[in-house]
Each structure stands twice: as structure tokens, then as C-alpha cells.
Chain A
């Protein structure tokens, strides 16, 4: 610490969590852990959808066992995605104004439209098309209140003739095709919200939306892989190893692209050493050292990459591979969360004067506290559980032996 202070060429004064000089209005952080959750959750949505599209559009049969689960996972997280934003707003009751009078020059104004488009036109529509046959059959076989729910879910479309299902299949394919750029739009747009802020050198980068998209794919794929393995285990079924092998392979390659982009951004900043460099460099070596260097880069990126690399080049037993996949996915999710943390919180820890640093004090039981954040992180899993109960994803699932012959 002392060395770093000397590195700055000045004596660093620490007072109320502030070192050096902050503009007086900058001392408290404006965006809390809830805004960290928002890109993390939308990233999981986008990534899960991309994984689902692998089977639907690119015909990667090996990942078919996760197709419906990936869609339901995406929906569960997408339902929760706006909640952290709503809780963060000073006046959440005014948020509909973003729909009624959006400001055309604001990136954030598009949130409502992008969200609704992705939720209704892509995800819900695709799930409905894919499940329509099951819903109709369930509406016929179930009783009582559940029957009413399924009846409503058919939306009056109870024709499940082969021709009708063929049309569903065709339309579903088109929806997925539209869904891929929509998933990129959803998360690239979140990256743009940060990347377009020229006042903040930590955020301001044209690479930000691209990095966000690839990190979203990493988190979504890792998340669905973990959920698939956990759910299959809970159902006391055999995990389709060929399926998780394929997912792990995609995770590895996309992770490499993501890591390369992040390193490109980092190396560019270091080599360019612009006006803000000394300030950002100091921050990475002190306040963000643990979350950036240790958690994001070493534990959350290099370690899972190394583990996944081993599974790609060394012949390991199924049991060992599965354990490595679980460890890699957990670490990758932790690393992506740390990345969101470092972007959102890290971007507010230094003064725009580049002369000082503040501290983020996370409250426990406030509206934007850590308890709420934990609750919001767990909530999608409960929604997923309810969705799985309502729309079981494995009703038409391939048997592992069958799936093993695919791809």
C-alpha cells in the first residue's frame, strides 16, 4: 500500500473510505450490487438462449437434452432481470414512462423495448411453440385448476395434427433464428449502456458490448450445464456425458474468445497508458486486487480454462470429467459475476478527477443491500422449479443412449 502511494507520487490520505481527492458528489456510489446483478442475470439469459439455439438452428444434436431446460432457465432469469433495476430506481412507480415517453438519444430508454421484445416475441413464443403439443396433451389429461391453467396456455390452439406440429417446428426455427441476434442485442445493449459513457474511462470502450456478449455466453452455458447436471442428479437419472462433453467444448472455445477480448482491452489500456491509466492501475492493484486479479482472472478465468483445456487434450474417465465440468462451471460463473462487479462497482471507485478513490459499503438489509441481492439471485431458481413442474422439459427428451449417437 505504502509503495503504491509512493508510486502515485503523493501521500495518500484515507478518510471515511476516501483516499486522495474525490469530487464532493462522488463519494457515495450511485449504482449498487443490484446493478451488478442486472448484467449478470441478463447474461445468463442470453447465454442460455444461445446454447438452446445450438440444437435448434445449428443442429448440434448432442446438446438436445438441455434444449428445453436452457429455454426455461432463460425465461426464469429473464422474469427476474428487471427487478434489480426497479428496486434501484429512486421512483420505480415512474418506470412505465420509459415506454410512454422514451428519450430517443438514451441507450437506457431502449431497455423496456428490448426486454419486452426478447421476453414476448422470442422466448415466450419459442417456448410456447415448442411445448404446444405437450400443453394440449396436458390440458386433456390433467384435472381441476391445473387443467384450467393448461387450457389457458393453449391460447385456444389445440390442433396437434402432424401438419400443425410441422408448422410449429418451422415457425419455431424462424423464431430461434431471430432470437440469436436478439440475445446478442439484449446483452450487447447492456454492455453499450456502460461502454458509451465517455466520462468514465473504466467503462468507455467499444469493446464493452462484445466482451459482455461473450461473457454472457460463458455464464449462460456454464449455468445451464450446472443446472442440467444438478437436475438430472436430483431426478436420479444418468447424466448424458456426450451432451456435457459437447457443452464443455463450446464453453471452452467461447471462454477463450471472451478471455482474449478482455486481455486485448487490458493490454490496450496498459500500452496506451492514457490520462486515466495511473488511476486505474492503482485501483486494480489495491481496491480491486482481490475481485479483479484473484477472483476474476486467476480463479474465475485462468483456472476453469486450464481445467477445461485438460478435458480437451487428456483422456479422463467420465467421473473425473464430470467433476471437472462442475468445478469449471462454478468457477466460470464466479468469474463472470466478479467481472460484472469489477465493471459496475470498480467503475465508481475512482474519481473522475483521477486523483482519488472511494469505498463501496454494501448494506445488509436495505432495499439495495446484500440480502436483497442474494434473494434476487435465488429467485430465478424457484421460478425455474415452478416452470419445470408446469412444463417438464424431459417429456420428449432423448434417452442418453440415443443422444450419444447424435452429432
Chain B
């Protein structure tokens, strides 16, 4: 093929744009890690959570989460029999330092850890105008922060309040399921630091993962199922009052 200098100069910018489009949506990964062999999610065992805040602290330290923002947080629900649809909920500083001691009463108390649900049909990735946020082939919802415009449309579209605009980087930020760890065979910082095993990283494509047996034998729910987002944060014994 004869490529003149003029044609080369014309084609170069087009090729650069095309290459940029190819690179957008390619997650950073470790050697020997095969994207197609995984489909990550999280199992959250609600009765096991004691609201210690270890997960929130570990996440903040591991991922350099800015003060006042949260990739994961813990909520404490206080539900009375007569008003189940209006629970009292608190999450002081995301539950990072635990919770104040409760007064004994007849109402129900429990903790609910929250994080990005890594939805298979995620509304946040749908609305991103440049595709800077995407569902990786292994099921993790990621953000290419070198490409994000910082328009915050994804923040508006997330039904779970899991995203925020990083105050210094001015781009969208959220839980990556500790992608830098899980692609190297490690678990997430929150799972590792949980003293009761209330959080478990699960790989739905791994036939040996105990999640398959757990899902078969337990009643499991996702948050806001009416949103039809294909959430992959599975909650065991989730109370109906949880939003």
C-alpha cells in the first residue's frame, strides 16, 4: 500500500482518536488475570455485621478515599413494629468510627453495610456521555478517571448513592471492588478487615465458589430490586425497611 505523507497526516489523528476509544473501557489488570473467567460480586451477611466500622476505615486507607466521602459505609437501622416504612437510620461519618450505644427498647436494631452494587445493567454506565465508566468483562463497574469529564450525571443516575465527585481530582469516584487487589488473587480491603465475615467477595463464574451453594440454600435479596439494575451485592436476611 502506498501511503503518501499527506494521507499519513490525515489518518494519524483519526487513528489516535480510534485508539483512544479502544483504550477507554480497558481496565488495568495483573498478569495471568483473565477477565472472561470472572464475574465478581459481594455477599453481605446482614446479621453478622456489628457496625464496628473496620471496613469503612480499611477502604478509606486502601483507596485514599477523601474525607467526607465514602466508597463503602455502614448504616444503622432502628425499626419499630408500627412504622416499618419509616425507619430511623443513622450513619455518622459513614460509620467509620462505629456507632453510639443504643438505648434498650422494644424496637429492632441492625447494621447494613453499603457499597457500589456493581450492577450488570448499571444506570451509571448507561448515562456516562463518554463511556468513561463501564462494566468490565469480569463484572466490576470501573471508572477511567483520565477520561471522565466530571459532569456528575452518573452520580445522579446511581439509585444507591454510591458515587461522588472526587473533591481534588474533579472526576467521578466509587468502589472498584479493590480491583488492584482482586486481579492479583487477593480479596477486597473491606472483606479482609471484617472481623465477623459479614462481607465476602464472590466470583459467580468460579464453580468452586461457595456462593453457589449459599444462594441455593438461603434467602438473598438485592437493594431496590424495582430498579432492575442487575445488582451484584447480595444481601442475606435483608430487612424490608432497608432503602
Contacts and interface: CB of A to CB of B under 8 A. Distances in A.
B157 A30 contact: no
A93 to B, nearest CB: 9
A111 B129 CA distance: 9
A101 B17 contact: yes
Given A31-B152, A101-B20, A111-B129, A90 B165 contact: yes
Given A90-B148, A98-B129, A355-B86, A106 B227 contact: no
Given A23-B114, A199-B159, A103 B149 contact: no
Contact of A24 (B17, B70, B126, B158): B70
Given A25-B164, A90-B170, A106-B128, A354 B243 contact: yes
A100 B162 contact: no
Given A31-B152, A108-B129, A352 B86 contact: no
Interface in A171-212: 193, 196-200
Nearest to A200: B156
Contacts of B161: 22-26, 351-353
Q: Which of A98, A197, A199 has its CB near the most chain B CB atoms (within 10 A)?
A: A199
A98 B153 CA distance: 13
Interface in A93-114: 94-95, 97-98, 100-103, 105-109, 111
Contacts of A10: 83, 86, 88
A156 interface: no
Interface string B61-99: 000000011100101000000010011111101100000
A97 B149 contact: yes
A361 to B, nearest CB: 15
Interface residues of A, number: 43
A8 B88 CA distance: 11
Interface in B127-158: 127-131, 147-153, 155-158
A106 B162 contact: no
B240 to A, nearest CB: 12
Given A198-B123, A198-B159, A100 B129 contact: no
Contacts of A252: none
A70 B159 CA distance: 41
B157 A197 contact: yes
A388 B127 CA distance: 39
Contacts of B163: 25
A30 B162 CA distance: 13
B124 to A, nearest CB: 9
Contact of B70 (A25, A108, A200, A354): A25
B20 A30 contact: no
Contacts of A30: 152, 155-156, 165
B21 interface: yes
12 contacts: A23-B162, A24-B68, A24-B70, A25-B163, A90-B151, A92-B149, A95-B149, A106-B131, A198-B159, A199-B227, A352-B161, A353-B89
What are the 9 tightest A-B residue pairs by CB atom distance, in nearest-first order?
A: A90-B150, A23-B161, A90-B170, A199-B159, A103-B131, A353-B243, A30-B152, A109-B129, A21-B89
Interface of A: 8-10, 21-26, 30-31, 85, 88-92, 94-95, 97-98, 100-103, 105-109, 111, 193, 196-200, 348, 351-355
